[in-house]
Chains A and B, each alone.
Chain A
Amino acid sequence: MPARRRCYNPVMITEIGHFALVLALCVALLQAVLPLYGAARGDGPLIAWARPAALAQFLFVAIAFVALMHAYAVSDFSLANVAANSNSTKPLLYKLTGVWSNHEGSMLLWVFILTLFGAAVALFGRNLPPTLRARVLAVQAMIGVGFLVFILFTSNPFLRLWPAPADGMGLNPILRDPGLAFHPPCLYLGYVGFSITFCFAVAALIEGRVDPAWARWVRPWTLAAWCALTTGIAMGSWWAYYTLGWGGWWFWDPVENASFMPWLVGTALLHSAVVVEKREALKTWTILLAIIAFSLSLIGTFLVRSGVLTSVHAFANDPMRGVFILLLICLYTGGALLLFAWRAPQLAGGGLFAPISREGGLLFNNLLLTTAAATVLIGTLYPLFLDIIAHQKVSVGPPFYDMTFVPIMVPLLIAMAVGPMLPWKRGDLYAALSRLKVAFVVTAAAALVTLAATGAHSIGAACGLALAAWLFAATMTELAERVRLAADPRGALRRALHLPRATWGMILAHGGMAVVIAGITGSNAWTQERIVDARPGDKIELAGYTVALDAVNQVSGPDYTATRADMRLLRNDREIAQLHPEKRFFPVENGNATGVAIRTNLLADVYAVIGDPDGKGGYTLRLYWNPLVPWIWLGAAAMALGGIVSLTDRRHRVGAPARRRREIAAATVQAAE
């Protein structure tokens, strides 16, 4: 029945997607101009235009995104993008995630998330003053216009290839992992989420007013972006750990740095917004942070896309695109900073505070976090800039970061423990420290036990663990005091359940940070590595375990063949686990990927990689014992969870304050009756 077949036409769906993207650009153009003009003129209908426009823009980009996903799902190789990045033999999961495995598709994902946030503001921002909401959405649409033009003119995923090839070239083997389904979208949710705080900042500069209400509206968006970015970075690091097979989890690669810088500034922003909300201080600083956080996200995009720096991540090196993104950065960051220079001096200053106070502590945190971000930025761009200024040749690697990052983080972590103990306006450092007696004891004990257990040469590790113990103990002290654990242990649980969610968020996030620090310290200090040439039947000793290599086989997966080792992990001759590391070969892509075998007991990982055959029946095996490494991700998960819990706090729930007030009013009326 040819008539029925016409109803479903894959080629048509792609064309609809392409057309929807053009429509999205048209809507974005109107959304960028009309509400802004309306807000300046006090024109109600034009102001009201922003919300439906944001929803329509989201809808059109969503159609385009789904259409591209569809083209990947049905392997429509007449699309150049699909032909270059997919293959008919791929499992469906990797066909779908292949959408953002490449430059064009990932830029479409970027814009999709941008418009998703815009639609969220339109839907959930009902309690925002209409002019502020109109301006926020207009600024967001300006970003949308820039990136939609970028996609349509330099990186269009809907371009056709004629004649269509019989099959696609496949997906980079390193990306062929379930991690691809989560890591890039999470990271983009974080990157692009900061666009909302950026828009709020620019809108506030246009309005010329920053007040506690503004900070209250901005905080949930900052929190949401921060949670996503934390999760995204942690996932990326975990992914690198288990797929690259290098045993490491962070490499100070320019692209890793690109995601870490917005995180540092976003963390600072999260804390300074509290000061604006509670005390009306640090207003202009908070605005500046909001601009910088998103600008660093843009610079991150630029670094990944332009190939200006050498990195393993830079898969789309095209100077033309680099110039275009740089132009967009100049437009948005430059424009926002010019607006800042012009309008920020007129913002009224806020409450005064003593250096030793909650505000003082948060300011200290901000200074250190931004210094850390600046350090990473300098480290990332140093080779480029020193060459320009002095024609000198340098290299920047972990030695630079070890030297500069540790001295910044140590005071930050020490202060992080004390900060929450200080009251607003004016605090008493001695009183706060005297509440931390238990924490002092725990810290000293952690340092001494570490030194006693591992010898005097691990002083650095002892300091690291002591720092982690200090932060953890102080955070728990704070929790214990809040629920009055010592005075009334029985009622403590009930009080714990009634603590504000934001407090729980803080405790989870700070406690999680302590766990991360312990994990980093353990991994830096005590990792053991064995590299051996082994034959089936050999046994290798590793950190009190024995790894028995029983056999090496050739196996085949859905789209690869693999050399697979059968190993047993033994402790005192008792089998604990089986390990099956693989070295996979992908014939379509003519590339290899490592399948690492990891056995964790949450205290340490045993990590096994199989390498090349030596031609004499043996294989190169790399075995690592990575103590405390799982804590890095456990801690990061606790931090992200803290952010989510805090996000559900009553104050951040949309319309919640109003509802609560009504309930109280109703209760009072009832009581009066």
Chain B
Amino acid sequence: MIWRRWSFALPVVIFAGLAAGLYYGLQNDNESLPSALIDQPAPTFQLASLPGHEPGFSSADLAGHVSLVNTFASWCTPCRAEHPVLQALAATKRVPIYGIDYKDKEDAAVAWIAALGNPYTRIGADDGRVGIDWGVYGVPETFIVDRQGRIRYKHVGPLTQADLERKILPLVAKLQK
């Protein structure tokens, strides 16, 4: 019978765990989540293309210039919010943007690109394995990779124009010098 009594305390215990998790989540600065990969060489990979967007995307493409690598997916709502920002950035031609289409259906991704426009120099379709190598936490995420192919910055969540102007573009300009 003592067990029956204690079982009534179960909800409050579960809730305490939940609340602690939410508190931890608040303390975590969502935008500049530290990545263990910062200043490490970008992983080596080879990704297949989306139909109609050949060739695919591989680590060799990143050599020799500063680039942005952006993970996205057609099912991802914040990616839609971010997309116009990427489109505008691509139009300025200041830095090439590479896309990793993360855990997505091919035809859905192709339709998505067709509908919203393609800001990407190259796109690779990833079933999740390459994403793990990059330390991808969710979509969208954006990485800055320098000339030597090292990851220099990671942005979690949708990019806003303000993020671009304050963080991304100044760092890109510095690396491009």
Contact = CB atoms under 8 A, between A and B. Distances in A.
Nearest to A256: B77
B11 A529 contact: no
Given A341-B9, A395-B137, A395-B139, A311 B30 contact: no
The dominant DSSP class at the A interface is helix
B117 interface: yes
Contact of B15 (A333, A611, A622): A333
Interface string A360-393: 0000000000000000000001011101100001
Interface stretch (B16-24, B41-49, B57-65, B164-172): B16-24
A585 interface: no
A119 B32 CA distance: 46
Given A310-B158, A330-B19, A338-B12, A531 B111 contact: yes
Contacts of A307: 30
B132 A393 contact: yes
Contacts of B139: 395, 397
A292 B10 CA distance: 13
Nearest to A245: B115
B126 to A, nearest CB: 11
Interface stretch (A218-226, A318-326, A557-565): A318-326
A513 interface: no
Contacts, number: 110
Interface residues of A, number: 50
Interface in B95-109: 102-103
Contacts of B132: 393
Given A341-B12, A393-B137, A399-B75, A531 B25 contact: no
Contacts of B30: 307-308, 310
A385 B21 contact: yes
B78 A310 contact: yes
Interface in A313-343: 319, 322-323, 326, 329-330, 333-334, 337-338, 340-341
Please indicate which of the listed interface residues B16, B135, B138 has the most CB atoms of chain A within 10 Å of its own CB: B138
A239 interface: no
Contacts of B19: 326, 329-330, 333-334
B136 interface: yes
Contacts of B12: 334, 337-338, 340-341
A622 B111 CA distance: 10
A251 interface: yes
B76 interface: yes
Contact of B78 (A312, A388, A620): A312
A252 B139 CA distance: 14
Interface in B127-177: 131-132, 135-139, 156-158
Interface residues of B, number: 40
A246 B75 contact: no
A534 interface: no
Contacts of B26: 306, 308, 319, 322-323, 326
B5 interface: yes
B80 interface: yes
A575 interface: no
Nearest to B20: A388
Interface in A520-568: 529, 531
Interface string A501-533: 000000000000000000000000000010100
Given A341-B11, A387-B137, A393-B132, A326 B77 contact: no
A345 interface: yes
A326 B103 contact: no
Interface in A240-267: 246, 251, 253
A381 B21 contact: yes
B106 to A, nearest CB: 14
B136 A388 contact: no
The dominant DSSP class at the B interface is helix
B102 A395 contact: yes
Given A337-B15, A344-B8, A345-B8, A393 B22 contact: no
B16 A397 contact: no
A398 B115 CA distance: 20
A394 B141 CA distance: 12
Contacts of A302: 22
Contacts of A330: 19
A326 B22 contact: yes
A394 B22 contact: no
B15 A310 contact: no
A288 B11 CA distance: 8
B103 A397 contact: yes
Contacts of A398: 75
B56 to A, nearest CB: 21
A299 to B, nearest CB: 8
A384 B22 CA distance: 8
B21 A388 contact: yes
Contacts of A622: 115
A622 B115 CA distance: 7
Contacts of B117: 612, 620
A284 interface: yes
A198 to B, nearest CB: 14
Interface in B38-94: 73, 75-78, 80-81
Given A306-B26, A312-B81, A326-B19, A345 B136 contact: no
A308 B78 contact: no
Given A288-B11, A312-B78, A345 B25 contact: no
A312 B11 contact: no
7 contacts: A302-B22, A310-B78, A384-B21, A388-B21, A393-B131, A393-B136, A395-B137
Interface of A: 246, 251, 253, 284, 288, 291-292, 295, 299, 302, 306-312, 319, 322-323, 326, 329-330, 333-334, 337-338, 340-341, 344-345, 381, 383-385, 387-388, 393-399, 529, 531, 611-612, 620, 622
Q: Which 5 A-B pairs have the closest CB atoms?
A: A337-B12, A341-B9, A310-B157, A395-B138, A397-B75
